[in-house]
Structure 1
């Protein structure tokens, strides 16, 4: 056993209290403070410690979080089981582009990716889950209509109980529609607001409550150009995105004293998606070779960087755009 692995083993033993483990602080330190892909001199030790920690936890605990003794599961209360399991990134709006890339990125850092879309997209959600698992990482599908308060509460409760503590929550639901204001029906306006703003409030509220009890965590809201600029045809979308930005700002100021980092990321440009490729082929053909379209993987890297920021230099709002963008 290497020195790094031995350190984790000894720390794990020291965290055993009355037959139970309390390893969340150790795990949080490894995953959050020492990123596995760091280029620092200590990165190899960090990777080794992280790898041993997760294998140690997996061999010590069953999939439900209860400890395994001689191949048999021992009784343990739910709070202790939660502390012993790897942390979770909860991605609400895990579509085929940005949401999926964010889930994969954090899964590579050792988080269990709990990915969520509306139940009608359950098949695509399962495909994403399986793709993450096939790469050797942990993932769970959480079909969810995030506009429904009771469903959001139930989803968060299920994750915290059955999977692990939510360390990172990413709200990435899009609701981009284009209608002139005089042609926008009340139903369309309300539906867009529910998806792009109200759902974000629900997810931030529920995840924030759990994180506040533990004293750490990150909540990231995906914004858009419409979050700060109202263009013709986008009154419904823009008002909802303005509202989401306001929710994020209030939540950031409320939860920062409790150690919770809340961020709003303004995506100011086209993202490399099937929609853009199919509907703007000329623009795509011109910009893609020049890195003139936002890559979902590049966006995901910035989300990971936000989570790793030290407490003395937190970002609330980050705006991302290609270098060729005019703004």
Structure 2
């Protein structure tokens, strides 16, 4: 009897040298059939094709994390491929804004992506994992998950909500054999988003001030491989120069 294919569902995939793409490459290399999910078809197709070209397994899936129908469709498709053993919620961009000038729609849109999407994604992931009584669900957090800074009220509310959600799920589903974890990335990541999108900030911080991408991915891989008698729920990662 053949062993079912392990499937990883990773949402929040954008730039080829971004967190989502790096997570997809790492877990495809370790034997997963990775579902590469994100809002932009061109970007997820590029990442999936780059993985497939190395002989590893990847499927691109265009998905809006805030759409219940699309998130369900993503997991239904992944479940047809094999056992969903790993799910990573990596969606939610940094969204600053002056509080007194903030439109309600802006606040809500930030919450929908960073928090409501996490609910939709985790509910579908856990529906599948709960049948097998095993699996790993990981949420990507940020500095705002732990503390609110000026001009980041919307982002902080959303990321703090996602962190609280992860704690509730860890306590509810851990006894059922499902590992739920939350990773706080405290600082700017050394990837395309800052190097290409905000090069002046990247230059100001310098290499020592940017969090190493592969070092972050190492932590996700470590958590995915932990035995049930030694689970991590939350871990933070930052550079040696970051004030915290």
Once the 2 structures are TM-superposed, how far is the Cα of residue 280 of structure 1 from its aligned partner?
4.3
| Contiguous gaps of at least 5 residues in structure 2 | none
Q: Taking CA–CA contacts closer than 8 Å with sequence separation of 6 or more, which of the two structures ends up with the larger relative contact order?
A: 2
Cα distance per residue 1:256-281 (max 9 Å; x no partner): 01110000000001101233224243
Distance in structure 2 (CA, Å) of the matches to 1:282 and 1:127: 27
The residue that corresponds to 1:194 in the other structure is 112
Cα distance per residue 1:55-111 (max 9 Å; x no partner): xxxxxxxxxxxxxxxxxxxxxxxxxxxxx3x11111010122111111111111000
Query: Retained in 2: the 8 A contact 1:219–1:261?
Result: yes
The residue that corresponds to 2:24 in the other structure is 103
Distance in structure 2 (CA, Å) of the matches to 1:186 and 1:117: 25
The residue that corresponds to 2:240 in the other structure is 323
The structure in which a higher percent of residues are helix is: 1
User: Aligned to 1:233, which of 147, 151, 165?
Assistant: 151
How many equivalent residue pairs? 241
Once the 2 structures are TM-superposed, how far is the Cα of residue 286 of structure 1 from its aligned partner?
5.6
**Match runs of 1:52-63 below 5 Å:** none
**Match runs of 1:267-282 below 5 Å:** 267-278=185-196, 279-281=198-200
| Contiguous gaps of at least 5 residues in structure 1 | 1-15, 24-83
Cα distance per residue 1:206-243 (max 9 Å; x no partner): 10111011011000000000001111111111000010
User: Aligned to 2:228, which of 308, 311, 314?
Assistant: 311
- C-alpha RMSD of the superposition: 1.4
- TM-score by length of structure 2 reads 0.94
Query: Retained in 2: the 8 A contact 1:276–1:284?
Result: no
Q: Is the aligned partner of 1:203 residue 2:203?
A: no
User: Aligned to 1:142, which of 61, 71, 90?
Assistant: 61
The residue that corresponds to 1:89 in the other structure is 8
Q: Is the aligned partner of 1:173 residue 2:75?
A: no
Secondary structure of 1:100's aligned partner:
helix
Distance 1:253 1:129, change over 3 A: same
Distance in structure 1 (CA, Å) of the matches to 2:236 and 2:29: 24
Cα distance per residue 1:152-205 (max 9 Å; x no partner): 1121111102x2221100000123111111111111111110000000011111
**Match runs of 1:110-189 below 5 Å:** 110-118=31-39, 121-161=40-80, 163-189=81-107
Distance 1:103 1:283, change over 3 A: closer
Query: Structure 1 segments of 4 or more deviating over 4 A?
Result: none
Distance in structure 1 (CA, Å) of the matches to 2:154 and 2:77: 33
